[in-house]
Amino acid sequence: MTHYIHEHRDWPHFKWDAGLADALSPLHHRLGHLLGQMGALGSPFRDEAQLRSLTLEITKNSEIEGEILANDQVRSSIARRLGLDVSDLVRPVRANRHVEGAVEILLDATQNFNQPLTEERLLDWHLSLFAASNRHLMIGRFRNDQEGPMQVVSGHYGRERIHFEAPAASRIPQEMAVFLAWFNAHLPLDPLLKAGIAHLWFVTLHPFDDGNGRLGRVITDMQLAKADGSPGRFYSMSMQIRAERKSYYEILEKTQKNALDITEWLAWFLACLERALMASENLLADVLKKARFWEMPETHSINERQRKMLEKLLDHFEGKLTTSKWAKISKCSEDTALRDIRDLVSRGILVKGPAGGRSTAWLLNI
């Protein structure tokens, strides 16, 4: 009697219900609409949108596994590697090796999505992911199961629950060769379905001692970039998976303990992708609002101090913006700060808050 999906005789010949096609058309439409919106933006706002999405994808991918990456380090590393001119948004900081590895992997996958995913490239990703690790792991190599079979386990010692057991290590080289050949092949298969299948297939093989979930989601991002036909990333699948982590693990376990019909997994994956797109539309609404703001004639011919302070207000400035805060942040006198503010008030860009006197705060009039 077979217990896991990879033990079935016809593995890996997956099956699914043709009715899933009904979910694909609106998904492609939503994707096209999002990419169209981003394409219509000017370069600075497109860069900002991409920076936000990539930062979320990298931080949430690690967070799913319980690992927290410093948000400012991730943003700074992405901006530097992509040469993004977002100096008003990103304070350059030195990223640690772990952050640099995570950023390097995702950018290689999404910026170079048309290059084949080879075993060598995948092993390099694993090396980058664990370059700063001091754990006893087989890094940059497939697992060998010397310490026993690869199992996904939860619970306290002596009362463990085995959620899944991966194929034996002796099978991995051949299994990965089959997977990579399939992933690189041009198939008559919807690219979004292929992303869902690739995710399930890779994490079921579990070819490494650790990092399989993170690399599986990077491979998913690579296939989604292929589906978009663009290296620009404007939504985060990992952000949505993190929000639905419990159901994500539940549907994976259910599918991996079932037969080769993966309809339920693919339906969940496509629905999760749609929710990720919806979430990103809300996230990117701020970027679109900023784009419309800077198109207003009233914002033309303002000075650099004013521009930087307005950027801070548009990025949800914490606390109240008083004249003294303006002077401190802009490194100018309070008289200069007040002149800057009054000019923006006369243009209708700023308004005075309800409090008066030295507590007067200035608000955006949008």
Domains parsed from the chain with CATH numbers: 5-291 (1.10.3290.10), 300-364 (1.10.10.10)
Query: Measuring CA to CA, which residue among 139, 118, 44 is closest to residue 88?
Result: 44
Regions of the chain where pLDDT drops below 50: none
In this prediction, residue 90 carries a pLDDT of: 60
What tens digit of pLDDT does each residue of 126-184 get?
999 998 776 677 888 999 988 878 887 777 676 778 888 899 999 999 999 999 999 99
Q: Which two tokens stand for residue 177?
A: 């060769």
Closest listed residue to residue 35, CA positions, set 196, 235, 226, 223:
235
What is d(CA 363, CA 352) in angstroms, rounded to the nearest whole number?
6
**pLDDT of res. 162:** 82
Q: Is the pTM of this model over 0.75?
A: yes
Q: Inter-axis angle of helices 71-82 and 43-64, to 10 degrees?
A: 130
d(Cα 240, Cα 278) in Å, to the nearest integer?
10
Give me 236's structure tokens. Answer: 């985060």
Percent of the chain with pLDDT over 90: 62
What values do phi and psi take at 361, rounded to 5? -115, 155
DSSP state of 354: S
Interior angle at CA 294, CA 291 and CA 300, nearest 5: 160
Rg (CA), the chain: 24
Say if CB 233 and CB 61 are below 8 A apart: no
pLDDT in tens, 29-57: 999 988 888 887 777 778 888 898 999 99
Cα–Cα distance for residue pair 351/358, rounded to 1 Å? 15
